[in-house]
Amino acid sequence: MADDTFWKILPYLPRETREYVPKMIAVTKLAAEAGPDAHFDGSIQPYSYENVFVPGNTTLAGVARALEVDAKVIRDLNPHLIRGITPPGEIYGVRIPEGGSRQVVDALAN
């Protein structure tokens, strides 16, 4: 069976591949089960956000405090910032809920 092949070589693959491939297999199976008549029903709303540019090494928790929102809100908008902090040494765009950029800029200026 084709599915068995990946699982046999799993211990020999890089960590990133071991984590990535099973997710792709799952998505492929879900898509196949959904069939050609599957459609988006609009029940999932897209995130509404804006970007604010902050200095390097700015924590997402600090951005959340500036906005007076739960840190999870900011983490959910920025899943690519795995460590919860912007890259060092560069200005970096962070996604925040719409309307909050002035608050963040003011808080970081102080």
SS3 at position 16:
helix
CATH 3.10.350 fits 49-109, yes or no: yes
Angle between helix 2-9 and helix 15-34 axes, rounded to 10 deg: 160
Among candidate residues 40, 110, 108, 44, the one with its CA nearest the CA of residue 96: 108
Question: Hey, where are the domains in the chain?
Answer: 2-34, 49-109
pLDDT tens per residue, range 6-31: 778 888 888 888 888 888 888 888 88
Is residue 84 within 8 A of residue 60, CB to CB? The reply is yes
Closest by Cα among 89, 85, 90, 87 to 60: 85
The pLDDT tens digits of the residues spanning 77-97 come to 999 999 999 999 999 999 999
